[in-house]
Homo-oligomer: A and B are copies of this chain.
Amino acid sequence: MNNGLKHILEPESVAVVGVSPNEKNLATVIFKNIQYEFSKRGRAVYAVNPLYEECAGVRCNDRVPSSDLVIIAVPASLVKGYVKQAEQAGAKAAIVISGGFKESGGQPLLDWKPRLRVLGPNTIGVVNPHWGLNTLFLPHVKEYISGEILESIPDPAPGDVAIVAQSGALSITMLDDLTHLGVGLRGLVCTGNSEDISGEEAIEFFSEDGMTRVIAVYLEGVKDGRLLMRAVKRAKEAGKDVIAIVGGITDEGRRATGSHTASMIRNSALFTNALKQAGAYLARSYDEAMAVAALRSKWPTSRINSVVILSNSGGAGVLASDELGRNGVPLAEVPQGLIALRESGLIPRAASVKNPIDLTASGTDESFLLALDELCRGGAQGLIIIATHYPPGVSGSLPEKISAKIKSSCPDVPVVAVEVGSSAWSVAYRDGFMKSGIMSFSSPESAARALSGLYALPRISPFFAEATNEKASVSAELDEIYSMVEDAGFSRLPWGWINGEDDLKGLPYPIVLKVQAAGLVHKQKAGGVITGIRSPEEASAKYRELLRVFPGARVYYQRQVNGFEIRVGFVSDETFGTAIDIGYGGIYTEKLPHVTYVAPITESGVKSASSEAGISIPDSLAKAISRLSFIIAGSGKFKEFEINPVIVSNDGYYPVDIKYVL
């Protein structure tokens, strides 16, 4: 358990620095919020400000008093002094709300290692409805132009969804949207500039926390890549889901994060793949992340294998089907009972009773309910209901009726609704679904994508492995390197030095002859490789030719093998350590897609990585590559390591050329 975050989210006492008689002052707003909730629970809250005797109706401390958590909201130049006071007072943790540090071109706050944990600076802090703690300094209600006082930020109910975000504004938005999607909050941690406590630590905290079920994450960077992966993997293994949005993955986005939270993702392909590898669900957009998190919180253990679309709009049904198809979600077979319903005229005779079911514009409330009944009885596992409101037979109470029907007939079936359109009716009706407890969407694709997320979540299985300490016997000698690769499960490509024509007898023809000479990098281009040699006689002639063209070079043979060529490379990444790169080999290496993951990688990870690169490889090769990734990552000796090509033939996987930098 991460103690820093425990003190931050569940402090027994809090001191707020910067409180003043001014009601609009940030620290005052924070103090009053906490005071109200904490006093009900009998916990202590202190105000700190040396300029006043009394502020916000209480006595003002002129120094930070002894307390678990110190919240600091003062001008940037004063922050350091108060963190030091908090240290001296024995505080366990501090939240620095103040901005004006690295994110706006200034210096970092922490130029020493403090004896307490620090969240921020440049953070909106935390929210923990289970503890009555909320450090948001923004108003919960605001006057609208109409003069009405409208809700601006909702007060989240206690629940099981955790929010971890580097961005303050986005944290609030996530809280707002998730609350309105009917989700209860376990806690929100905004890490801001993440100078001390990082997003990965916050994820680690929630991964070990009994009240957390879903962790919704917004990341613009990471300090400790391996910790991030371990935390995500631990969450997944504990039966939780991590739903991540990553900001700054294009060049445009990356420039933006630099001046936002001073974070920056160096290798965005590796970053997002590392998250996937650890078991996170990578949302393709903000909306998708919120919808999937909310659906999962509602159906935490659901495992759907197929989806039924029940619609009265054929076109919208098609678009939803396409989106399911793009996400690999199968359409279910639908029960025969629907045909009987149609024959009896209880659902329209013009209806199509294949999936997607299309009740057409003649469909009524009643036909939706009858069809639903049949689908529930038939064992539907996931439902998309597209009940366009336009037809005369569809009433405003259909959402409520559908909700009641599902509660009585198949309460465990995840269901989402679609109403496309913008007329007053559409807006009210879409809202009607939300009020009846059915998440509703304004486009068929977004509904299908959200339900696809629910399909995908229980199927995600981490394929990241911890490095083991490999024996340090890895040598710099090429021969031993080949043995190491062979130990991993690659084949031994018969080869040997040729020291005279006698050596050419008894070789495993056909062979290739190659020269080895200092400074000769592109031996193939230089004519230093001769393939397809079938006999000792031919070999003798070629051997003499090579010695003539490359005087003084050494010549070696390799058995000639045919097959297709892949490349397996390893590089060292600043954030994630050793990474593996898999792609096509030989002359195509640079032109073709290749994928990068963090090493070591499991066998199934190798399989999925290569198929992402468009390569289908045998299980035993995947096993060898995985094993090699353990050796390379575990030895910690190689800056770079590359086998290119590995010839994948019917009788083995031959490493033809190995290059490495220690």
Q: Which of A127-135, A386-394, A652-660 sits within the interface?
A: A386-394
Residues A286 and B445 in contact in the complex (CB < 8 Å), given A24-B392, A260-B315, A316-B170: yes
Question: Contact between A250 and B220 (Cβ–Cβ < 8 Å)?
Answer: no
Q: Which of A143, A173, A180, A323 has most B Cβ within 10 Å?
A: A173
Question: Contact between B396 and A144 (Cβ–Cβ < 8 Å)?
Answer: yes
Within the complex, what minimum Cβ distance (angstroms) separates A298 from chain B?
16
Specify which chain B residues have a CB less than 8 angstroms from the CB of A247 in the assembled complex: 315, 318-319, 322
Within 8 A of B (CB), among A609-651: 614-616
Q: How far is the CA of A55 from the CA of B312 in the complex (A)?
A: 30
Closest to A307 in B: B252
Number of copies: 2
Within 8 A of B (CB), among A250-300: 250-253, 255-257, 259-261, 285-287
Question: Contact between A423 and B314 (Cβ–Cβ < 8 Å)?
Answer: no
Proximity bits, A296-329, B CB within 8 Å = 1, else 0: 0000000000000100111111110111111001
- Tell me whether A344 is interfacial, beta carbon within 8 Å: no
Question: Contact between A286 and B443 (Cβ–Cβ < 8 Å)?
Answer: yes
Q: Which of A56-64, A146-154, A462-470, A514-522 sits within the interface?
A: A146-154
Q: How far is the CA of A593 from the CA of B251 in the complex (A)?
A: 25
Please, how many residues of chain A have a CB less than 8 angstroms from a CB on the other chain?
113
Q: How far is the CA of A360 from the CA of B313 in the complex (A)?
A: 43
Specify which chain B residues have a CB less than 8 angstroms from the CB of A314 in the assembled complex: 167-170, 256, 259-261
- Tell me whether A476 is interfacial, beta carbon within 8 Å: no
- Tell me whether A336 is interfacial, beta carbon within 8 Å: no
Q: Which of A251, A257, A322, A592 has most B Cβ within 10 Å?
A: A322
- Tell me whether A366 is interfacial, beta carbon within 8 Å: no
- Tell me whether A582 is interfacial, beta carbon within 8 Å: no
Specify which chain B residues have a CB less than 8 angstroms from the CB of A170 in the assembled complex: 313-316, 420
Q: How far is the CA of A256 from the CA of B132 in the complex (A)?
A: 50
Question: Contact between A176 and B426 (Cβ–Cβ < 8 Å)?
Answer: yes
- Tell me whether A100 is interfacial, beta carbon within 8 Å: yes
- Tell me whether A378 is interfacial, beta carbon within 8 Å: no
Q: How far is the CA of A104 from the CA of B395 in the complex (A)?
A: 25
Within the complex, what minimum Cβ distance (angstroms) separates A600 from chain B?
26
Specify which chain B residues have a CB less than 8 angstroms from the CB of A396 in the assembled complex: 142-146
Q: Which of A180, A286, A315, A396 has most B Cβ within 10 Å?
A: A315
Proximity bits, A11-44, B CB within 8 Å = 1, else 0: 0000000000000100000000000000000000
- Tell me whether A549 is interfacial, beta carbon within 8 Å: no
Question: Contact between A390 and B250 (Cβ–Cβ < 8 Å)?
Answer: no
Question: Contact between A151 and B425 (Cβ–Cβ < 8 Å)?
Answer: yes
Q: How far is the CA of A138 from the CA of B360 in the complex (A)?
A: 13
Proximity bits, A172-212, B CB within 8 Å = 1, else 0: 11001101110000000000000000000000000000000
Question: Contact between B172 and A331 (Cβ–Cβ < 8 Å)?
Answer: no
Closest to A104 in B: B350
Within 8 A of B (CB), among A422-458: 422-426, 428-429, 432, 442-446
Closest to A26 in B: B361
Question: Contact between A421 and B177 (Cβ–Cβ < 8 Å)?
Answer: yes
Question: Contact between B287 and A446 (Cβ–Cβ < 8 Å)?
Answer: yes
Closest to A251 in B: B325
Question: Contact between A614 and B592 (Cβ–Cβ < 8 Å)?
Answer: yes
Specify which chain B residues have a CB less than 8 angstroms from the CB of A356 in the assembled complex: 256
Q: Which of A80-88, A235-243, A567-575, A583-591 sits within the interface?
A: A583-591
Specify which chain B residues have a CB less than 8 angstroms from the CB of A114 in the assembled complex: none
Question: Contact between A138 and B391 (Cβ–Cβ < 8 Å)?
Answer: yes
Q: How far is the CA of A356 from the CA of B255 in the complex (A)?
A: 9
Specify which chain B residues have a CB less than 8 angstroms from the CB of A429 in the assembled complex: 144
When the two chains form the complex, which single residue of B100, B139, B143 contacts A350, counting CB atoms closer than 8 Å?
B100
Closest to A170 in B: B315
- Tell me whether A531 is interfacial, beta carbon within 8 Å: yes
Specify which chain B residues have a CB less than 8 angstroms from the CB of A531 in the assembled complex: 531-532
Q: How far is the CA of A396 from the CA of B614 in the complex (A)?
A: 52
Specify which chain B residues have a CB less than 8 angstroms from the CB of A318 in the assembled complex: 167, 220, 247-248, 253, 256-257, 260
Proximity bits, A547-574, B CB within 8 Å = 1, else 0: 0000000000000000010000000000
Specify which chain B residues have a CB less than 8 angstroms from the CB of A329 in the assembled complex: 252
Question: Contact between B587 and A564 (Cβ–Cβ < 8 Å)?
Answer: yes
Within the complex, what minimum Cβ distance (angstroms) separates A356 from chain B?
5
List the interface of chain A (C-beta within 8 A of B).
Answer: 24, 99-100, 103-104, 138-139, 142-146, 150-154, 165-170, 172-173, 176-177, 179-181, 218, 220, 245, 247-253, 255-257, 259-261, 285-287, 309, 312-319, 321-326, 329-331, 349-352, 354-356, 358, 360-361, 388-392, 395-397, 420-426, 428-429, 432, 442-446, 530-532, 564, 584, 587-588, 591-593, 614-616
The 5 closest A-B pairs by CB, nearest first: A250-B325, A167-B315, A170-B315, A169-B313, A253-B322
Of the A-B pairs whose beta carbons lie under 8 Å apart in the complex, a sample of 7, sorted by A's number, is A103-B352, A150-B423, A153-B423, A179-B422, A252-B330, A259-B352, A532-B532
Known: A252-B331, A591-B616. 7 other contacts (CB 8 A): A150-B428, A250-B321, A256-B354, A260-B358, A285-B319, A286-B316, A286-B444
